[in-house]
């Protein structure tokens, strides 16, 4: 029985040994990852980009397991951006095949470990069979409570904000809401991440230092961490390094260092 299976049987997280306890303190409540570098990883090995994505899917399995084990409540993975539709269709199709395979092979583990799968993005744009499989997986895992795994698919941060604005405008036209009643809290409830905390930490792999249209609203105060490692090589040691780095940071939210932790 692996550690994660043991966790799910008890349905509580184990107390970590003292030496490791600091690792479990002050964890992000929401971790977001831009999984980048599959293509370059493959190129360096004279493999096809698709081979790179296959190796990247293995990192997804490992990182989801690790996050569940250490008790990160929300994990959001950027798997496919709206802009990624512009890639060669062979590559796009391979990505959907890999997603389908992932959803089928991981359902058992998601159930055992109480992981709720949720998709954010324009998932209606996905091929029908993939959409159905995704919708089924979301339905079957809907009551799982230990962790939310958000997959960003056909996702665009700007488009998410525009859609929220459209829905809000509709609500106002129907006179269910006054424009003056729209504040940040109300606006947030119209986003895909309505019932989730904003990401505390964003990791981007492969050394790229950009946001690429990811969670634009939600990342207002997110800590950023860039790893030089390509996504297929990003495994538990690299995740732990990122979390250690995050735990050492001082988050000020506009206050001074002295005010931190006190009411202003």
Would you count residue 80 as binding ligand IPE (CB under 6 A)? yes
CB of 233 to ligand IPE, least distance (A): 12
Would you count residue 34 as binding ligand IPE (CB under 6 A)? yes
Active-site residue, selected from the candidate residues 2, 11, 26, 36:
36
Would you count residue 81 as binding ligand IPE (CB under 6 A)? yes
Would you count residue 84 as binding ligand IPE (CB under 6 A)? yes
In the block, residue with structure tokens 């207002």: 220
Contact string (CB under 6 A) for ligand IPE, positions 211-250, x = contact: -x------------------x-------------------
**CB under 8 Å to 95, separation ≥6 — which residues?**
53, 79, 80, 84
Q: Please identify, using beta-carbon distances, which residue of 214 and 246 lies nearer to ligand IPE.
A: 214
State the Cα–Cα distance between residues 53 and 121, nearest whole angstrom: 20
Task: Choose the one of Mg ion, ligand IPE, none that binds residue 260, judging by a C-beta under 5 to 8 angstroms depending on kind.
Answer: none
CB of 167 to Mg ion, least distance (A): 31
Strand pairing report for 74-81 and 30-34: parallel
**Which residues, in sequence order, are bridge partners of residue 115?**
147
Q: Which of 223, 220, 222, 242 is nearest to 231 (CA)?
A: 242
**CB under 8 Å to 254, separation ≥6 — which residues?**
none
Interface residue with ligand IPE, options 158, 210, 251, 260 (CB under 6 A): 210
Q: Which of residues 86-115 bind ligand IPE (CB under 6 A)?
A: 95
Residue 53's H or E segment, with its range, is helix 49-70
State the Cα–Cα distance between residues 261 and 48, nearest whole angstrom: 50
Would you count residue 36 as binding Mg ion (CB under 5 A)? yes
Q: Look up 36 and say whether it is catalytic.
A: yes
Tokens standing for 261? 């932790």
Phi and psi torsions of 44, nearest 5° = -60, -20
Contact 225, 234 (CB under 8 A): no
Active-site residue, selected from the candidate residues 84, 122, 233, 245:
84
Tokens standing for 99? 């997603």
Task: Choose the one of ligand IPE, Mg ion, none that binds residue 28, judging by a C-beta under 5 to 8 angstroms depending on kind.
Answer: none
Phi and psi torsions of 26, nearest 5° = 50, 45
Of 16-24, 36-44, 118-126, 255-263, which part binds ligand IPE (CB under 6 A)? Answer: 36-44
Task: Choose the one of ligand IPE, Mg ion, none that binds residue 80, judging by a C-beta under 5 to 8 angstroms depending on kind.
Answer: ligand IPE
**Chain contacts with Mg ion (rule: CB under 5 A):** 36
**Which residues participate in catalysis according to the annotation?**
36, 84
In the complex, which residues of this chain contact ligand IPE (CB under 6 A)? 34-40, 78-81, 83-84, 95, 206, 210, 212, 231
């Amino acid at each position: 029985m692996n550690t994660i299976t043991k966790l799910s049987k008890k349905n509580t997280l184990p107390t970590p040994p003292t030496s490791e306890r600091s690792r479990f303190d002050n964890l992000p409540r929401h971790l977001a990852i831009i999984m980048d570098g599959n293509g370059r990883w493959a190129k360096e090995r004279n493999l096809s980009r698709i081979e790179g994505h296959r190796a990247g899917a293995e990192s997804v399995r490992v990182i989801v397991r690790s996050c569940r084990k250490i008790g990160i409540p929300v994990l959001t993975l950027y798997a496919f951006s709206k802009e990624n539709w512009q890639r060669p269709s062979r590559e796009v199709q391979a990505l959907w095949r890999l997603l389908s395979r992932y959803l089928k092979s991981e359902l058992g583990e998601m159930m055992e470990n109480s992981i709720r799968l949720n998709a954010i993005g324009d998932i209606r744009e996905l091929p029908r069979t993939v959409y159905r499989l995704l919708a089924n997986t979301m339905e079957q895992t809907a009551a799982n409570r230990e962790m939310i795994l958000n997959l960003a698919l056909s996702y665009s941060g700007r488009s998410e904000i525009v859609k929220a604005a459209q829905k809000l405008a509709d609500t106002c036209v129907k006179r269910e809401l006054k424009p003056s009643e729209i504040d940040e809290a109300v606006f947030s409830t119209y986003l895909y991440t309505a019932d989730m905390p904003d990401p505390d930490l964003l990791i981007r792999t492969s050394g790229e230092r950009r946001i690429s249209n990811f969670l634009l609203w939600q990342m207002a105060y997110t800590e950023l961490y860039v790893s030089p490692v390509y996504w297929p090589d990003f495994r538990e040691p690299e995740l732990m390094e990122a979390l250690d780095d995050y735990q050492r940071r001082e988050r000020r939210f506009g206050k001074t260092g002295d005010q931190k932790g006190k009411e202003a």
